[in-house]
Structure 1
Amino acid sequence: MPTETAARTGKAEPARSPFTIRRGLRYALIAQVAVAALVLLVDLGDRLPTGLGGGTTNPLTSPVLPGDQVRRHDPNRALPTFTGPSEAPTITLPENLPPRLNFSLQTEEAQGPLIVAAGPIEPGDADRFDAFLASLAEVPGQVALHSPGGNVDEALDIGRRLRARELSTTILPGTICLSACPYILAAGVERAVSLRGSVGLHQHYYETPGYMPAFLAVEDIQRSQGRTMEYLIEMGIDPGVMRFGLSTAPEDIYVLVEAELIDSRMATTTLP
């Protein structure tokens, strides 16, 4: 129906755009609140005890099969067995995980002398790794990893130092390399993964200040993900492997099967 103004002038009013500045600001505010809620939910999910907060209900010891690879991630569990019946490690590992990466020189029956890096990845571990290497009269050419993950930036730093020394990496039977640990694995000039060990990825967890607006927190997360992708490309790994982690909640872990390890080049060879 024409308005009174249109009746007086005999001219039709131009159609009003459904988009106004006020409405646009309202949509922007709604979007920001939605993103903030998402960040909060991810944060709460990561802090819930194991067995709560969504995700898979499969037990920690359930073997993975192609298409059924998401398991609960417990970073405090020293030897989760995702590959079937319990596999005794072929190296000496601490019964309980140390508070941070522990470096030792060991000899494995099939691999010979190697460096074992076991434990969570914490800030400062890259410098400790360098100090350990400097203490050795002769540095073995291979590093065996056993870690539930930890600080992503520190893992990238360790990886770059490892690659600079042209060392290889390996995952031995009965050991794990989860969360941030695969970024160290990726740095080996050769990367041998036992199919009786486990390599797994999930979404990164970032501590963000409570006062930081949601859009800045998301921007920081995206920037960190970009740095991780650049690192994988630098190491010769297909960054597409990140899709498995990005679709897996922080309280879970996506365990890579042989085809994914080889296709992504996360492993240059697999071992029994």
Structure 2
Amino acid sequence: MKKLLIAATLLIAGLTTQAQNSGRISYEAMVKVDLSKMRININGQDMKPGDPGFPAEIPDTRTFEIKTSYNGSNAKEEREGAGGATMIRRTFDGPGGGEGAPGQTMRIEPPFSEKNYLDLAGQKLITVLTVGKEADAKVYKSETPFKKPAGWQVTDQTKKIAGYVCQKATVPYKNENYTVWYTTELPMTYSPVRDLMPEKGVVLAVEGSKEAYKAIKVDLKASVSEQDVLPSASAKAVSPEEMKELREKAMADFRARMFERNN
């Protein structure tokens, strides 16, 4: 009977540890957009801020959600609404409503998709790039080590974020001092901003003049398997430089197709 109780206790302890080592964190994010780096095309003509006719309604901030799922020392980020190198095109030649309506602005998403995986033990980011769709899709992956900025100043200030006690730190980053709030009450080390990873703990809020991130929910009961947070083994390994070239080529080919379609 005693052996049975011990075995049951060990099983419960194992299940509890497993549950604590997986979960999901949801963040709200706001980033100021550098419009000069945005691809703006109006009736076949490339435009930049300051040019006559440049759309005044394009917002200079972008809000989106980050969902980070983790299991043990592996994690996956899904950035919903973060967008990418979006093209904007305005048409004036359509009659009354529909796709060609006068003055209509359309956002055209990049011809590829990206997912970020994190090897928290190995301190590296694994980016998976999928170019094309369905049967014609080609999948690549590249690895980039985390960079940790020096000069962390941890303060005595604390506050609760998403139900967890966080400590305040200031960090010199991007030519200014960022404020970082992190907790050691979660079983991993993570930050939604890769270069602002603490030695230990999970960053639940980041505040800078051009970007801000805040955790709105921590779900330790979320079902996250190890397979959910590992990149595809069949993805072709490339260097970060090659990954950049693949993105640029996909965008160039896409723009060329758009140009041909509209001329």
User: What's the TM-score, normalizing by structure 1?
Assistant: 0.26
The structure where helix makes up a greater share of residues is 1
Q: Which structure has the bigger radius of gyration? A: 1
User: What's the TM-score, normalizing by structure 2?
Assistant: 0.27
